[in-house]
Amino acid sequence: MPRHKEFDPENCLNQVMHLFWEKGYQDTSIADLVQRSGVQRYGLYETFGDKQELFQRALDWYLSTVISQYLARLESEDSEPSLTEIEIFFEQFIDYLDHPSSSLGCLICNTAVEGAVHDPIVISRVQQYLERLRRAFARALKSAQHNGELAEGTDIVQITEFLTGSVLGISTYARSPASREDVKRYVRGILAMLKQL
């Protein structure tokens, strides 16, 4: 008879996700994971696998919770997003920069630049996130073009890549020693560009 788990796997995964977010994959030890989650090593291994598998699960959890919340309006099936939804998406960063955790940046973006991570599954999660951003932005931009908010000749692909890169830029800038006000100015610059389209 399998042993009953004495902890909530989702709560554990949430704790682990935040630890990886704070310290990165390389600087997070199994001892750190045990201490943060309050779950013994064998419990973590039995439920999630080794550190690499746990990191993969933490990335999935981040994508399905944090990222889904930020992209909710752009990915909504109940309405057709447009330029307004893109602006609201970036305005969220201005609000978030007042939160102490904003200095952590983005777990997926941090992972993308953490050179020691070469696992194909982890790389696929980063690519999945970038593609998700591209789809969301392109969908809204095409809708805006269809509605006459953008000129017919507007290069949707170029703007999509600019916006996708801007998300990585905001996350990296937020993780730097730059002041929160400087990062906010950067975000406002992106918003100003959107208004000029």
With a CB cutoff of 8 Å and minimum separation 6, the contacts of 130 are 164
Same domain membership, residue 96 and residue 50: no
Residue 28 tokens, joined: 């997070």
Chosen domain end from 19, 44, 70: 70
SS3 call for 138: helix
Query: What percent of the chain shows pLDDT beyond 70?
Result: 96
Query: Per-residue pLDDT for 4 more than 50?
Result: no
CATH code, 12: 1.10.10.60
Chosen domain end from 38, 70, 102: 70
How much is the average pLDDT of 185-190? 97
What is the distance between the alpha carbons of residues 133 and 127, in angstroms, rounded to a whole number?
Answer: 10
Q: What is the DSSP string of 29-83?
A: -HHHHHHHH---HHHHHHHH-SHHHHHHHHHHHHIIIIIHHHTHHHH-SSS---H
Same domain membership, residue 83 and residue 21: no
How much is the average pLDDT of 51-66? 94
- Where in the sequence is the domain holding 62, given as residue range(s)? 1-70
pLDDT in tens, 63-122: 999 999 999 999 998 889 999 999 999 999 999 999 988 899 999 999 988 765 578 888
102 within 8 A of 96, measured Cβ to Cβ: yes
What is the distance between the alpha carbons of residues 140 and 13, in angstroms, rounded to a whole number?
Answer: 32
Band of pLDDT at residue 144, cut at 50, 70 and 90: very high
Band of pLDDT at residue 2, cut at 50, 70 and 90: very low
Give how many domains the chain has, as a whole number: 2
Cα 104 versus chain centre, distance: 11
Q: What is the CA radius of gyration of the chain?
A: 19
